[in-house]
Amino acid sequence: MKDDNCIFCKIANGAIPAATLYEDDDFRVILDLGPASRGHALILPKEHFADVTQLSSEVAAKVLPLAAKIGKAQMKGLGATAFNVVMNTGKDAGQTVFHFHTHIIPRYADGPSIAAWKPGTTTPEEMAETAGLISGAIDDQA
């Protein structure tokens, strides 16, 4: 399914050009226009899904192997020493384009530094309560 108003549908399906580093029947992988580091890539499915919660299991099963392939190529091709795999899901998590995409962000020994969360604190009681709230809300998908 393609969404006529979706920029990533247009890019993934070739209607708008982008710096493409990989393409197959299901995905186009492009460079991000506002890279967090050199080589910052986006894996775009050609089919439209708003976010990871909407992804088909067929496409989902292919995303992580492709992320690993791209990350390894960033290390080999660019001299990156590591990479982050990121999926922002929802506005409050920083998602700005509502066509599912996976960021593959190369990391280099000399930076740039990229903001991560600051570890907080908790207690065993709070952890037990929080875990219960989440586990009780997991849908039975069997």
Measured between alpha carbons, how far is 139 from 135 in angstroms, rounded to an integer?
9
Q: Are 67 and 102 within 8 A, CB to CB?
A: yes
Q: Which is nearer to ligand 5GP, 90 or 132 (CB)?
A: 90
Q: Which does 34 bind (CB under 5 to 8 A by kind): Zn ion, ligand 5GP, none?
A: ligand 5GP
Q: Which does 32 bind (CB under 5 to 8 A by kind): ligand 5GP, Zn ion, none?
A: ligand 5GP
Catalytic residue among 40, 48, 99, 101: 101
Residue choice 9, 12, 29, 30 for contact with ligand 5GP (CB under 6 A): 30
Q: Which is nearer to ligand 5GP, 75 or 87 (CB)?
A: 87
Measured between alpha carbons, how far is 135 from 33 in angstroms, rounded to an integer?
38
Residues in 28-87 that interact with Zn ion by CB under 5 A: 48
CB of 138 to ligand 5GP, least distance (A): 25
Per DSSP (E only), the strands in the chain are 20-23, 27-31, 41-45, 82-86, 102-107
Residue choice 13, 20, 84, 95 for contact with ligand 5GP (CB under 6 A): 95
Measured between alpha carbons, how far is 90 from 86 in angstroms, rounded to an integer?
13
Structure-block tokens of residue 52: 């990871």
Binding mask 82-111 for Zn ion (x = CB under 5 A): -----------------x------------
Measured between alpha carbons, how far is 128 from 137 in angstroms, rounded to an integer?
14
101: annotated active-site residue = yes
**Footprint of ligand 5GP (CB under 6 A):** 7, 18, 30-34, 42, 88, 94-97
